Structure 1
Amino acid sequence: MTEDPEPAVNVSGGQAGGGVAAEFDPATADTRAEHVVDRLGELYWQKRYGGRDAFTCLVRTILSQNTSDKASQPAHDALIERYDTTDADLADTLAAAEQSTLAETISSAGLYNQKSRVLITTAEWVVSEFGSATAFDEFVTEKAPETVRETLLEVRGVGPKTADCVLLFAGGRTGVFPVDTHVHRIYRRLGIASPDADHEEVRTVLEEVVPAKKCGFGHTATIQFGREYCTARKPACLEDPDACPLGDRCDQVGVYPATEDVVDPAETLE
């Protein structure tokens, strides 16, 4: 691949991007979900992820919760500038951070008081359990994915999507398909997951029917697709049936072009 159309600023890699190019052959797709992921590969990029620093990735993903990359990226950059010094471990500096100062630093991310408390608590946990951010990175990259995920989920403020992003972008684990609001909406709207499936049920379905090497890319590309085409309130198919590149693969669950109504897929069961 000679060009990389992936946005450089996003949770998958921050300002530097992330991942390495990979080739997917749509002709080999065995399931509808795999066809969808391959179609997104033709539309956007194809990547395999891994190699990010685990604690920095954890911090970045916490900052991204319930906000956009546009808002959370400046908060991440400001945090790194203030707290990531060459002579100190980032986990140590955040564990010792004054909460109000940290909150002010990350204010662009939204929910900054809550997130600052979560970041301090998480840093304290990393220092207590592993000793340093470096040791935490070794844990994420070397231990069994199930062990890493279960351990992260024990930390207050760390949910399944955050844990899975650390496994994917830092640990480079294949077969991990993090589910955010875009992924949750789109694969239920497509009809690949049940209309009333929760985030964990959608993740289970996708990790069963999408090949492991395509899961990470499927996550990031689906988010981009959700931002550009399959938005929550005004999906592209409302204005033009041919405007959506996945139109021939979609059941349009909860989308009613005739009336221009759009509801959460779960509401179609009521």
Structure 2
Amino acid sequence: MNDDPEPIENISGGDEGGGIADSFDPGGAETRAEEVVDRLGELYWQKTYGGQDAFTCLVRTVLSQNTSDVASQPAHDDLMKRYAGDDLAEALADAEHAQLAETIRSAGLYNQKADVLTEAGEHVLAEYGSTEAFDRFVTEGDSNDVRQALLDMNGVGPKTADCVLLFSGGQAGVFPVDTHVHRIYRRLGIAPADADHEDVRGVLERAVPATKCGFGHTASIQFGREYCSARKPACLDGPEACPMSDVCDQVGVDVESSEVVDPADAD
């Protein structure tokens, strides 16, 4: 088990995040991926999603890159206290770099993330005119156009773009793939061992019902942190240590030798 797991309840967005609870009815799984997501529903509470506007969600997701909610949430809260006003994009575009970086220090990679957030603010103002106009584009625009527009922004990769689509755009059926999701579903044998992030996303969005994708994403991350870590997955302690042992191909994991490699490097 991870010594610093994610909180039981997803805290992205904080107390002011909107409190939108995702739920689904487990059972009757038609694919192995859906069975995994259903079991995650037995492990974890249903998650509470933020319901933020799109630019706030973008900022929150950038802060969460390469760290946990536990570390990035305080950075988000401090940023909102200092910069949230009439227009967050304008405030970040005009922010002094050193001050912004210090504000978000707890999220890690704070100098790099400060640059990304400032450029994001500048881009939104240049392309859409305001935070509000950007929000309308994300929630009302064609999902493919929105995704591509997000990917065209510096520092925004597929996972960040998909999180904005899912949690702000309300796009059901979007299953963002971070490093945990990428590892877990290849290790399980659900996605090909050499699949890249986009290939894994395609597999999951075809195999998991749209109404289960949001929860599947966040719960898979928690499962990856608590059970299916990169170097010491729980299955090394025996099949009873992992709740997915009977549906997992253990690609890249040799229980007898305790050797663990990336699935793409497995024999």
Shorter-chain TM-score tier? over 0.9
Which of these residues, 118, 124, 127, is aligned with residue 122 of structure 2? 124
Which of these residues, 147, 150, 154, is aligned with residue 148 of structure 2? 150
Question: Aligned equivalents of 2:197 and 2:15: distance in 1?
Answer: 28
Superposition pairs of residues 151-190 of structure 1, within 5 angstroms: 151-190=149-188
Deviations 1:40-83 (A, max 9, x none): 11211345857321111100111111122222111111111110
Superposition pairs of residues 1-270 of structure 1, within 5 angstroms: 6-10=8-12, 13-15=13-15, 18-26=19-27, 28-46=28-46, 51-85=51-85, 88-269=86-267
CA shift, 1:15, in A, is: 4.3
- 1:8·1:15 contact (CA, 8 Å) conserved in 2? no
Which amino acid in the other structure matches residue 9 of structure 1? Answer: I
Question: Aligned equivalents of 1:21 and 1:150: distance in 2?
Answer: 26
Which amino acid in the other structure matches residue 24 of structure 1? Answer: D
CA shift, 1:20, in A, is: 2.3
CA shift, 1:129, in A, is: 1.2
- 2:10·2:48 contact (CA, 8 Å) conserved in 1? no
Deviations 1:9-54 (A, max 9, x none): 24xx44456432423231x211110111111112113458573211
Question: Aligned equivalents of 2:238 and 2:208: distance in 1?
Answer: 29
Question: Aligned equivalents of 2:150 and 2:250: distance in 1?
Answer: 35
Deviates more, 1:231-240 or 1:158-167: 231-240
Deviations 1:174-199 (A, max 9, x none): 01000001100000000001111111
Question: Aligned equivalents of 2:167 and 2:51: distance in 1?
Answer: 7
Question: Aligned equivalents of 1:236 and 1:184: distance in 2?
Answer: 17
- 1:92·1:127 contact (CA, 8 Å) conserved in 2? yes
Question: Aligned equivalents of 2:227 and 2:24: distance in 1?
Answer: 24
CA shift, 1:109, in A, is: 1.3
The size of the alignment, in residue pairs, is 260
Name the TM-score, length of structure 1 as normaliser.
0.91
Name the TM-score, length of structure 2 as normaliser.
0.92
Secondary structure, aligned partner of 1:175: coil
User: Where does the alignment leave 5 or more consecutive residues of structure 2 unmatched?
Assistant: 1-6
Q: Identity percentage over the alignment?
A: 67
Question: Aligned equivalents of 1:84 and 1:21: distance in 2?
Answer: 26
Deviations 1:146-191 (A, max 9, x none): 1110110111111000000000111121010000011000000000
* Matched residue, 2:4: none
Question: Aligned equivalents of 1:262 and 1:268: distance in 2?
Answer: 9
- 1:79·1:105 contact (CA, 8 Å) conserved in 2? yes
Question: Aligned equivalents of 1:155 and 1:210: distance in 2?
Answer: 28
Question: Aligned equivalents of 2:51 and 2:72: distance in 1?
Answer: 21
CA shift, 1:6, in A, is: 4.3
Question: Aligned equivalents of 1:207 and 1:138: distance in 2?
Answer: 25
Deviations 1:231-268 (A, max 9, x none): 11111111121111111110001111111111111111
Which amino acid in the other structure matches residue 23 of structure 2? Answer: A
Query: CA 1:149–1:48 in 2, change beyond 3 Å: closer, same or farther?
Result: farther
User: Where does the alignment leave 5 or more consecutive residues of structure 1 unmatched?
Assistant: none
- 1:9·1:16 contact (CA, 8 Å) conserved in 2? no
